Structure 1
């Protein structure tokens, strides 16, 4: 399988270097690796140069996309990729040697247009007990070969047919460039167009959780953004057409669920902080859904709400 491996990066030189070290050890090597730097200063340039000097069994292409926008950066990686298939991995993840081979084998065996795999978080030993007990960074997993539901589609570990991405000049919507959610939007649209995207539970990558994310504040904002992503995808049709009645139901359901989750957070606090935080995150996610109706957006990649 002819695979271009794409990485959008922003000011993570050490983690990018570790990832590039993983990629040269893959049991199935990509045809090429494309690194696009969203830092106008080019902070990843030296990392790519060093990897080239150490040696790599594939070409590593490097470019800068200077406008702060994750969608434009991902779009630039696609524009530079030449492979029949395109894989994406985040710049802060680690890839075991069998990762890319397992993705490609599943794509072939299942006659799929895309394959997603799990991202396993690595929580540091110094994390608070309530964070380690809460499993807040984990995502639901499926049986290998299962078709992925629309609300479970996400990036970080994905292989897609290149033709699907090249069918439009800007596969990732720039309107999601500061908020995030561009991945679910794209995958949802591809599924609506008939793409078959399946799961490979063996194609695991690992994501060390940064110290900056070991806080209730970060978790609440990430849950808020997740709720906003879901609502935006529903309202824009990425998950199917939405009627006026459907919009009302979405808002009222989010309102009810946010109130219930807040109450359960209060009641469960004596049973452990991690249990209370679980429900607080549910409340935050539903507040995020409602906030979209009011025109508010949390810019995760801009650090603000508008």
Structure 2
């Protein structure tokens, strides 16, 4: 048997160099962050550069720098939050392609290879992959697959083809972009996404991807299910209360995205998901219940409740912004 040769560090078949950015903010994820870095170091296509950005936590920055030789550990110079940390990493990156991995995720060994391969498919601005849950406990019996995005994971309704498929936006914890696009359209918006608020907000990558498409309509974003990472799901995120809070927060976040890029683009994928994937799932769960699987009723209820919570959050976020403009 002939061993497969490793590519030159950080280069795909076309010679593009890849920088991987991991954003960290707390010692509570110390083991997760080290595991994330280790998984990047074990890629069949080694990165040219690994950057760990700490979000305004000097002690964490110092500890990681002392523990991770060969990794560029740097403090965020942007506003507190994930967008500011990512933008700091982008500014430090030297690769032609910038890839992002969550600090509580582990990448499969072929992750970077499949992300890099996508850039040979024409005017591709970014490539993302499949994010699967890595449960601390077990999957909640009531959780519909169409709502796995609540956990930061890929969900039922995304393209299920074996190869790359075109999408509107990528998920920030498993995504890559040509570094040149950030110079062209700017970085992640600081006013959108997670930044330590009580609500678990998001959508900073959604806004960026839509803005990218508006500025570069000839480019495209690809989702490749072969580029796999495993995202840790802690027990606290398996509670129904978290599910409802996260759905509401997603609605609030979508209101912010709508204000930034317009409703037509901000809600196009969401309307399609609500009109197609959710009704299919609801029918399937009710059929499960009718067939004797009582857990189907729980998934049907969660589908309706989650949609209602997201709509309520969107309405509240829209009203709040309208009130702010009148002042």
Conserved in 1, the CA contact under 8 Å of 2:252 and 2:318?
no
CA distance in 1, matches of 2:314, 2:20: 33
Partner of 2:59: 42
Q: 1:201 aligns with which of 214, 225, 232?
A: 225
Partner of 1:222: 246
1:6 aligns with 2:31: no
Seen in structure 2, the aligned counterparts of structure 1 residues 24 and 133 have a Cα distance that, compared at 3 Å, is closer
| 1:205-244 per-position Cα deviation (integer Å, ceiling 9, x unaligned) | 11120122111111111111222232322332266579xx
| 1:20-72 per-position Cα deviation (integer Å, ceiling 9, x unaligned) | 111111000111011110142332542343232xxxxxx41111127532211
Question: Cα offset for 1:5?
Answer: 0.7
Partner of 2:113: 101
Partner of 1:166: 183
Q: Aligned to 1:7, what secondary structure does the other structure show?
A: strand
Q: 1:284 aligns with which of 288, 297, 309?
A: 309
Question: Cα offset for 1:97?
Answer: 0.6
Q: 1:64 aligns with which of 66, 71, 75?
A: 75
Seen in structure 2, the aligned counterparts of structure 1 residues 27 and 240 have a Cα distance that, compared at 3 Å, is same
Seen in structure 2, the aligned counterparts of structure 1 residues 282 and 116 have a Cα distance that, compared at 3 Å, is same
CA distance in 2, matches of 1:241, 1:185: 9
Question: Cα offset for 1:128?
Answer: 4.3
CA distance in 2, matches of 1:241, 1:282: 19
Q: 1:155 aligns with which of 172, 195, 204?
A: 172
The residue correspondences of 1:1-306 to structure 2 (distance < 5 A) are 1-11=16-26, 12-52=29-69, 59-65=70-76, 67-126=79-138, 128-131=140-143, 136=148, 137=151, 138-139=154-155, 140-142=157-159, 143=161, 144-148=163-167, 150=168, 152-167=169-184, 171-177=187-193, 178=195, 179-194=201-216, 195-237=219-261, 272-295=297-320
Q: Aligned to 1:289, what secondary structure does the other structure show?
A: helix
Q: Aligned to 2:227, what secondary structure does the other structure show?
A: coil
TM-score (norm 1): 0.78
Query: 5+ residue gaps in structure 2?
Result: 1-15, 196-200, 322-327
Conserved in 2, the CA contact under 8 Å of 1:78 and 1:166?
no
Query: 5+ residue gaps in structure 1?
Result: 53-58, 297-306
CA distance in 2, matches of 1:270, 1:34: 43
Shifted more, 200-209 versus 104-113: the winner is: 104-113
Question: Cα offset for 1:283?
Answer: 0.5
Conserved in 1, the CA contact under 8 Å of 2:51 and 2:93?
yes
CA distance in 1, matches of 2:225, 2:146: 22
How many matched pairs? Answer: 270
